Chain A
């Protein structure tokens, strides 16, 4: 099976007054029809990795890679037109904060229908029907009412589900989800993850799940990349994350409080400069 997405030696850097800042430093992985988790703390480069795949980096960023290909298409040399054809339709990105990702002056239902019409090529009438069905699928009660609301009229958790609905309605082959459920209550979070899970299992969608939540990624994904300071320091099967060997991964796991433990003091992470290269 050829990989849906191939990433080899991906690098992202920014020019700063004090010299270049290397935010992503040689990330490589291949993604099939699976759930791949990328975990790390803020500043680890996990979100930039997701955006680099979409070629959605700020103009000040410099991107390089030995290979960056989606379903055989070289994303590094692809024309803006080709990229526009892929984005939204075949590769979708769910971002963390719905406040900045929804159009504030357009009804949320129409935004979902627009995605279905433009990327899915369906009629206006079918688009509306699909948008309503998708709102229901992301567990929104009374989709007819919510369809007519503006973004400022919905809660953070609902905005997040609307975003997810909008990104899923064109039925993408690859979904990059950057902390897609961190604004959601745990019960809704589980239901939304079940929708993503089913899309991977039934439609063969590839999923990159970017998160800071180790336990969630360990339980939800097939495979996990752990990022630290722009590099992948550890890769393992998600169910074996507890057996991680890199001191950074181990440190993160140990610093989490757990319901069934009564440690008085949580171990804190002492960052070893060697992790920057190892």
Chain B
């Protein structure tokens, strides 16, 4: 469903040029949930932004459902949609929920707007009462539900999720993760989930790639992660650090450049 080959993303020019992604390749099968894990600056979100078409200056090959991402095909938004980290920033503060959800349908000339908006709200567990509210009348979790509903308006086959729960409280995170798992099963979605949280990826994904400094360090299935048996030293350290604080472990941490 998704294929990325030798993806290189460079920011800046000349002397200030920085390669944020330095040759990344992976495949995601139809219906699979794939995790991209890494620390800040590892390039994981940059990969997602290239795939979603938000960033067009990259080299390499990327396709979703056989469509070349570089060509910005009009069919791509119907195939893949993105959900962002911060629901406080990703919804227009002066647009109602109704307008946020209707807009994708109007842009792409889809009819039956009203019924589809109501159905989308119901899908993400929000009643019709939410339809004419503004984002400032919603909690963080409700906003993220609206953002997910918006991403699903065009009935895409692929969801690209960039840290969808890291701005939320843990009890709300559980609700959103449950929602995403349910939607994935109901709508047979293919997902890429970008996260720094190994436990979230273990919960949501079938397979994952670990990134560091713009490169994929290793790929593994989730069973390997659960057994805590990664191959690379970098991933083992990431795993150790995610298990909480330990003075002795902290003293042995090394940097992988």
User: A residues bordering B, Cβ < 8 Å?
Assistant: 41-42, 155-157, 185-187, 189-191, 193-194, 197, 212, 214-216, 218-220, 251-252, 255-269
Contacts and interface: CB of A to CB of B under 8 A. Distances in A.
Contacts of A219: 243-246
Contact of B244 (A220, A263, A265): A220
B250 A191 contact: yes
A260 B177 contact: no
29 contacts: A185-B39, A185-B40, A186-B242, A187-B237, A187-B238, A187-B241, A187-B255, A190-B241, A190-B253, A197-B250, A215-B243, A215-B244, A216-B244, A220-B245, A252-B170, A255-B174, A257-B202, A257-B204, A258-B203, A259-B202, A259-B226, A259-B239, A260-B228, A264-B181, A266-B177, A267-B174, A268-B171, A269-B171, A269-B174
Contacts of B57: none
Contacts of B41: 155
Given A212-B169, A251-B171, A268-B175, A194 B247 contact: yes
Nearest to A35: B245
Contacts of B250: 190-191, 193-194, 197
Q: Which of A186, A197, A260, A269 has the most CB of B within 10 A?
A: A186
A213 to B, nearest CB: 8
A257 B203 contact: yes
3 smallest beta-carbon distances between A and B, as pairs: A219-B244, A257-B203, A185-B39
A229 B245 CA distance: 27
B187 to A, nearest CB: 17
Contacts, number: 102
A156 B41 CA distance: 11
Nearest to B200: A257
Given A187-B253, A212-B169, A256 B199 contact: yes
Nearest to A265: B178
Interface string B200-222: 10111000000000000000000
B198 interface: yes
Contacts of A259: 198-199, 202, 225-226, 228, 239, 242
B178 A268 contact: yes
A41 B169 contact: yes
A186 B39 contact: yes
Contact of B226 (A157, A214, A260): A260
A260 to B, nearest CB: 5
B251 interface: yes
B170 A214 contact: yes
Contacts of A251: 171
Interface string B155-186: 00000000000000111011101100100000
A209 to B, nearest CB: 10
Contacts of B244: 215-216, 218-220
Nearest to A41: B169
B149 to A, nearest CB: 19
Nearest to A197: B247
A189 B241 contact: yes
A155 B203 CA distance: 30
B150 interface: no
A269 B173 CA distance: 11
A118 B68 CA distance: 60
A119 B188 CA distance: 60
Interface centre among A157, A187, A260, A262 (most CB of B within 10 A): A187
Given A156-B40, A259-B198, A190 B178 contact: no
B249 interface: yes
Contacts of B145: none
Nearest to B140: A42
B112 to A, nearest CB: 32
A237 to B, nearest CB: 15
A268 B253 CA distance: 35
A121 to B, nearest CB: 31
A214 B175 CA distance: 18
Given A259-B225, A268-B178, A216 B245 contact: yes
